[in-house]
Structure 1
Amino acid sequence: MIPELGFLSLTIAMALCLLLCIYPLWGAHSGNLRLMRAAPALAVGQFVFVLLSYLALVYVSLHDDFTVAYVANNSSSSLPWYYKVTATWGNHEGAMLVWVLMQSIWTALVAVLSKSLPWLLRARVLGVLGFLGVGFMSYTLLLSSPFELLLPYYPVEGRDLNPLLQDPGMIIHPPLLYMGYVGLSVSFAFAIAALMTGKLDNTWAKWSRPWTMAAWGFLTLGITIGSWWAYSELGWGGWWFWDPVENASLMPWLVATALLHSLSATEKRGVFKSWTVLLAIAAFSLSLLGTFIVRSGIIVSVHAFATDPARGVFILGFLLTVVGGSLLLYVLKVSDVKSEGRYQFFSREVALWLNNILLVVATLIVLLGTLLPLVHKELGLGSISIGTPFFNQMFSILLVPFVVLLALGPMLRWKQNQLKFVFNKYAFALVLSVIIGAAWLFSSYETVAVMTFVAVVSALWIVLTSLIDIALKFKGTVNFAEGWKKLTLSYWAMIAGHVGFAFVISGVALTSAYSVERSVKMEPGESVYLNQYEYRFNGVYALNGPNYTGHAGEVTVLKDQKFVEILHAEKRLYTVGNQFMTEAAIDAGFTRDLYLALGEQFSNGAWSLRIYHKPFVRWIWLGGIIIALGGFLILFDKRYRRKVTIANTLNNKNGDTNHAA
């Protein structure tokens, strides 16, 4: 009964979403205020029924209902309850239902929190979101339903959840990533609605910006936690592999970052309007492209869902419809969009524009490196590989100009600047960064590669220019409290984003240059040394988990004969699926990680172990969290929380609706 109720709830949600797609758009076109006012109720209604559908899937998973094919294929009775919940997004059908749930959440939030918008814009935004919801729900109901039954014959035990997904990181990584992916649909909807109304003014940018920032924040957290999961769970000691699925999440993030900067210029100066709209379309289009890559079965990845071709064709068709339709509307309307502000070459506007160009170029590099091997193979030209060296080299080339603009941007004023005034502050920060960076690196390491030095100096440069800018903002204030009140949360969000990025690039540079590893064969009682640490192998003991057995190797870590930590690296056998998994042991620190993985047993009782010393790897994820928190901080800026009252009247002739919200 519960699976049938889940499917029925999703069907009702689909019907409401179809009405949400039709009523407000037709009402905006015809000037019918009654139809437009139906949109918020429809948006909330479809969310309620999608939520009921998802709760039904959670219920059957928690109660081990193996009559449901999805539960039988992705869960088991011995699975801990929290991983049974995780199993609801552990494979394709459940993940799509979660995607639909996220889409309904964003749509309902827009309906509830956008009461101050003019009805024309509000109705069209909700109508576009309704159209997207129809597409995703149709796909889920027709091709990817998680409620298919195995009656009358069903197994008495499930196949268990993929052991790779039985990790705390996978409890929070996919929902955060989906919230980011789907959240970009709100930016897309605002852009399309603005094109429909023909009013791409500062108000549109102001309303769109917090939604974009929220989606970008979730996407940043999702990528960050996904990187940490890959590092801690896969047992390779790496944090990013340039996997096609990883690239699929990075591309919309890069474009969304460009969109945020462009929205800032559009909101405050009325410039880059058409470019901003194009970025909003591109960001969500790349989210859909990522969905196609992950769920079409065209790539092989530990992250991908291998599915049948019919699903890939549907997603590709929906992708072409959304992208093609939005670009056609853009071409038809872009000639009416004109920027208002004027500025000179040496200004913040130009810095933001150049920043956007570099981010788009980076996106194109990732897109090329991800899709070219696939296209090459599909055309029958053979297999080619574009791997880590290509991406690393191309991003290294882009790093310096990007950092220059990132550090320079906060110091520049809108419209125009005096070169001498900015150069003095900029040059001082650069010289100080070089001195600190050289002193740090050359006193800590025997050799320093050029790119490592450049990356560390760049990170220091960003931090120092940010501190100088803060000091200048506080200059002339009576006390700290007065200076603090002068600065908006948007400003602190910008500072957090830049400082967080500095942590990321320094962490990437240092861990890439100075990580060391050693594979050893050890018997109990033996010791090995790596980077001034002694690893003493104590032996192996048996494991008995809720749904697995195995062995754990115990290693005592010492430094200068002083105790540091005891590491327990595990080799698990998940009994239901008869799958082996390596669980690395990690002693995490602010400046280094000690990473240990247990290998195979030899005939003489010895075991193979892999030992890694990973300096500053935690800075990568610390930086990602700081960046994301900066994004969420802007949501509390009073400019975006202030209720705006707009006098609206309905004009049936031209459909221009302005009413008091």
Structure 2
Amino acid sequence: MLAEVGHFALILALLVAAAQAVLPMLGAMRGDAALMAFGRSAAACQAVLIALAFGCLMTLFGQADFSVALVANHSALSQPLPYRLAATWGNHEGSMLLWVLVLALYGAGIARFGDNLRTTLQARVLSVQAMISVAFLAFALFTSNPFARLSPAPLDGAELNPLLQDPGLVFHPPLLYLGYVGFSVTFSFAVAALLEGRADPAWARWMRPWVLAAWVPLTCGITLGSFWAYYELGWGGWWFWDPVENASFMPWLLGTALLHSAIVTEKRGSLAGWTILLAILAFSLSLIGTFLVRSGILTSVHAFAVDPERGVFILAMIIGATGTALGLFALRAPQMKSGALFGSVSREAGLTLNNLLLMALTAVVFLGTFYPVIMEAVAPANKISVGPPYYNLVFVPLSVPLLLLVTAGPMLAWKRDDLAVVGRKLLVPAALTAALLAGLSLWTGLAQASAALGLALGAWLVLGAGLVLARRWWGAGGFSLRLVRTTPAATIGLALAHAGIGFTTAGIAAMSSFAAEHILVIRPGETTTAGPLSLTMLGAEEVDGANYRALRARFAVRQNGSERILVSERRFYDNSRNQTTEAGIGVSVLGNQYVAIGDVQSDAKGQGLVVRLYWHPLVGWIWFGGLLMAMGGAASLSDRRFRIGAPQSRAPLAPNLVPAE
């Protein structure tokens, strides 16, 4: 019965979304307050209905109701309850239901927290948001029904992919979806602004919290996904430029550009058209990521690999949403106000250059992701792959000027500045960074010049973040606790986020240049080395888990006179006949000791165990930096200025179109 209740709730949600897509828009055009108010009620109703459907599906997984095809295909009685519940979104149909749930919750959030919005703008935003909901609810109901029955019901189900039976599944997909779907709100704001012909500082102030609300969980999701792959897959890497990894990274890059562009529009009224365009493209890339995962054109550990017909449906949604929005942008953007002018040396100019570099980096990742797909479509016999060498050659050089600009940008004044003045502000961090670069170059030698540069850039970013706070906290009379207490949350957020980029940069540089590895067949009592590590195998035994059997090996790892015991497992899941590797990881501030076992093999000395031993210097800094970035975004989102009325233009503007000046 729960399956039918959930299915019926989805049907009702589709009908409510269809009404929400039409009536508030009509009300905004006619100035009808009742119709515009309907949009707020409909958004709340839609969220309740989809939450009911999602709750029904999760209950079915918890109860192991194998009469529902989705439960039978992705859950088993031997599966631990937390992973049975998380399997709700560990598949195509359930993840699409999570997608529409997040979409509806964002819509309800606009209705609940949009009191400061112009009534017509809120109505149009809710209407556009509902149009997106209609498309995805139709997709879920007509091509990906999560409540389809299975008759006869099996006594037990097919196990969830063992790689997904991990705490990462509980948090990683929901965080990514909060990010992906969050950009639907900024997309709706952009389209609503184009319909009204008005994108002023007040509009940017209203939209910026929603940009942060998407950017923060997306940052967390990408960081958690990287860490999950690192400890779960047993290959010792934190990023592989997998196409589906790129699918989450591209919206993050454009979302970062959108955040900075919205600041310029809010503070100076400039770059409004650029902000609108970035809002459209960020959500379009989120849709493209959905297409990559579900179209079946990619083979990836992340992909659901469903049939191509569903991919065509999503492709039609991408073309419809992006094409309509870009067409409206081409029609309306040239007629909208351009905002205040600024000099070539100014914070506006710095943020514009920042956005251009982020756009270029996004284009590099987009080309590397889709070039193999396009070439395979043109010439199926000639399959190619684009991997780290391409990104190291193209992406990294473009990143260097961007990272230099991250510290310099906050030192620039609005409207106009002088290079000599900016240089004096940056003298201390520049001198310290130059000294560090010289010292690292002498230590590493020319062969590791890129590592020295990366570590120095990391220091440059952290020092620049500290400089932002130092300039805020030191007044005419020196350090002031009053200035510390009155520091805006957005300023603290900026410093945390920029420092996070610095830690991540340093971690990437160290991992790329100083990591060591040794792969061999080893037996109990034997010893091997990798970089500064010495490893001795203590023994191995077979153990039973909740729904798996495992070969568990214990190792003594020594480094700099200290020793710790690490345990690695090779797990065998009888239900699905799959295997996974659980790495043994020794964590420290300076780096990780990493041990992963493979299969039993024979060599000249007899039978032994394949072991991968890695030394990963500063690898934890990569994820610590990601956490700092997310904390910075969250701090900015908490700024009280977002909870008060946005600034209004002094002169009233026409409701539908602002003529060119």
Shorter-chain TM-score: which interval? over 0.9
Taking the aligned partners of 1:68 and 1:574, their CA distance within structure 2 comes to 23
CA distance in 2, matches of 1:377, 1:530: 40
8 Å CA contact retained: 2:532, 2:615 = no
Deviation (angstroms), 1:512: 0.9
Q: What is aligned with 1:573?
A: 572
Contact 1:65 1:71 in 2 (8 A): yes
Query: Do the aligned residues in 2 keep the contact of 1:281 with 1:323 (CA within 8 Å)?
Result: yes
- 1:251-330 alignment runs, 5 A limit: 251-330=250-329
Question: In 2, Cα distance between the equivalents of 1:570 and 1:134?
Answer: 46
Structure 2 distance, partners of 1:559, 1:621, is 23
Counterparts of 1:220-619 in structure 2 under 5 Å? Answer: 220-380=219-379, 382-439=382-439, 442-443=442-443, 445=444, 449-476=448-475, 479-560=479-560, 562-563=562-563, 565-602=564-601, 604-619=606-621
Q: Is the contact made by 2:3 and 2:68 (CA closer than 8 Å) also made in structure 1?
A: yes
* Residues 202 and 648, structure 2, Cα contact 8 Å, conserved in 1: no
**Other-structure match for 2:218:** 219
Please state how far the C-alpha of 1:98 moved relative to its aligned partner: 0.6
Letter in 2 for 1:76: A
Letter of the structure 1 residue corresponding to residue 556 of structure 2: T
Tell me the amino acid that sits aligned with residue 621 of structure 1: W
Per-residue deviation, 1:505? 0.9
Partner of 2:37: 37
Task: Tell me how large the CA RMSD over aligned residues is.
Answer: 1.9
Kindly indicate whether the alpha-carbon contact (under 8 Å) linking 1:116 and 1:645 is maintained by their aligned counterparts in 2. Answer: no
Aligned to 1:167: 166
In 1, distance between residues paired with 2:432 and 2:548? Answer: 54
Q: What is the DSSP-based 3-state SS (H/G/I as helix, E as strand, rest coil) of the residue aligned with 1:608?
A: strand
Partner Cα separation in structure 1 for residue 334 and residue 446 of structure 2: 56
The aligned amino acid for 1:389 is: P
Aligned-partner Cα distance in 1 for 2:230–2:465 = 31
Inter-partner Cα distance in structure 2 for 1:466 and 1:416: 22
Q: Which residue pairs with 1:202 in the alignment?
A: 201
Q: Distance in 2 between matches of 1:471 and 1:35?
A: 51
Q: Would you say the 8 A contact 1:349–1:415 is kept in 2?
A: yes
Partners of 1:331 and 1:561 lie apart in 2 by 66
What is the match of residue 623 of structure 1? 625
Instruction: Output one character per residue of 1:484-537: Cα deviation in whole Å (capped at 9) or x when no partner.
Output: 144311111111111100111111010110111101221111222233332121
Bigger drift between 482-491 and 301-310 goes to: 482-491
Q: Deviations over 1:414-459 (max 9, x none)?
A: 011122111123244222112124435655x577512212111111
Q: Which runs of 5+ in 1 are unaligned?
A: 657-661
In the alignment, the residues of structure 2 paired with residue 580 and residue 463 of structure 1 have an alpha-carbon distance, to the nearest angstrom, of: 42
Cα-to-partner distance string for 1:137-158 (whole Å, 9 max, x where unaligned) = 000000001111112x121111
C-alpha distance in structure 2 between counterparts of 1:643 and 1:271, whole Å: 20
3-state SS in 1 of match to 2:426 = helix
Whole-angstrom distance in 2 between the partners of 1:102 and 1:16: 16
**Pairs within 5 Å for 1:148-187:** 148-151=148-151, 153-187=152-186
The answer to whether the 8 Å contact 1:407/1:466 transfers is: yes
Query: Match for 1:257: what amino acid?
Result: T
The 8 Å contact of residues 31 and 655 in structure 1, kept in 2 or not, is answered as no
Shift of 1:641: 1.3
Q: CA deviation at 1:655?
A: 8.1
Aligned amino acid, residue 634 of structure 2: F
Calculate percent identity across the aligned residue pairs: 40
Question: Does the aligned pair in 1 maintain the 2:533–2:615 contact within 8 Å?
Answer: no
- Mapped partners of 1:354, 1:160: distance in 2: 50
Per-residue displacement from partner, 1:449-480 (whole Å, max 9, x unpaired)? 12212111111112223323332222325553
CA contact (8 A) 1:536 1:555 kept: yes
Structure 2 letter corresponding to 1:617? V
Give the secondary-structure state (helix, strand or coil) at the position aligned to 1:424: helix
Q: Distance in 2 between matches of 1:562 and 1:413?
A: 51
Are the aligned partners of 1:30 and 1:655 in contact in 2 as well (CA < 8 Å)?
no
Work out whether residues 570 and 580 of structure 2, in 8 Å CA contact, stay in contact via their aligned partners in 1: yes
Distance of aligned partners of 1:454 and 1:423 in 2 relative to their CA distance in 1, 3 Å threshold: same
Task: Give the AA of the match of 1:326.
Answer: A
Match of 2:640 in 1: 638
Cα distance in structure 1, aligned partners of 2:500 and 2:589: 15
- 1:529 match: secondary structure: strand
Which stretch has the larger CA shift, 634-643 or 78-87?
Answer: 634-643
On the 8 A contact 2:236/2:594 being kept in 1, the answer is yes
What secondary structure is seen at the aligned counterpart in 2 of 1:242?
A: coil
- Contact 1:583 1:597 survives alignment (8 Å): yes
Post-superposition shift, 1:176?
Answer: 0.0
Alpha-carbon distance in 1 for matches of 2:33, 2:316: 33
- 1:22–1:539 Cα change, 3 Å: same
Q: 1:90-141 CA distances to partner (integer Å, 9 max, x unpaired)?
A: 1101110111111111111111011121110010010010000111100000
Per the alignment, in what secondary structure is the counterpart of residue 475 of structure 2? coil
- 2:550 is matched by which residue type in structure 1? G
Kept after mapping to 1: 8 A contact 2:550/2:570: yes
Structure 2 gap ranges (5+): none
- Equivalent residue for 1:659? none
Deviations, residues 587-619 of structure 1 (Å, cap 9, x unaligned): 111111011111111354421111000000111
Q: Distance in 2 between matches of 1:455 and 1:540?
A: 40
Aligned residue type for 1:480: S
CA distance in 1, matches of 2:609, 2:321: 55
Asked whether the equivalents of residues 465 and 494 of structure 2 are also in contact (C-alpha less than 8 Å), the reply is no
- Report the alpha carbon displacement of residue 177 of structure 1 after superposing the two structures with TM: 0.2
The answer to whether the Cα contact below 8 Å between 1:126 and 1:189 also exists between their aligned partners in 2 is yes
How many angstroms does 1:573 deviate by? 0.5
- Report if the CA contact (8 A) 1:233-1:584 is conserved: yes
Contact 2:488–2:639 under 8 Å retained in 1: yes
Q: Distance in 1 between matches of 2:515 and 2:567?
A: 21
Please give the TM-score of this superposition, normalised by the length of structure 2. 0.95
**1:310 Cα deviation (Å)?**
1.5
| Distance apart, 1:172 and its partner CA | 0.4
AA aligned to 2:542 is: A
Aligned positions, number: 650
Given residue 615 of structure 2, which amino acid in structure 1 is its aligned partner? H
Distance 1:531 1:380, change over 3 A: closer
The letter for the 2-side match of 1:110 is I
Letter paired with 1:566: I
Amino acid at match of 2:600: Q
- TM-score using structure 1 length: 0.95
User: Conserved in 2, the CA contact under 8 Å of 1:455 and 1:509?
Assistant: yes
Preserved contact between residue 600 and residue 610 of structure 2 (Cα < 8 Å): yes
The question of whether the paired residues in 2 share the 8 Å contact of 1:489 and 1:634 is answered with yes
State whether structure 2 residue 83 is matched by structure 1 residue 89: no
Specify the alignment match of 2:24 in structure 1. 24
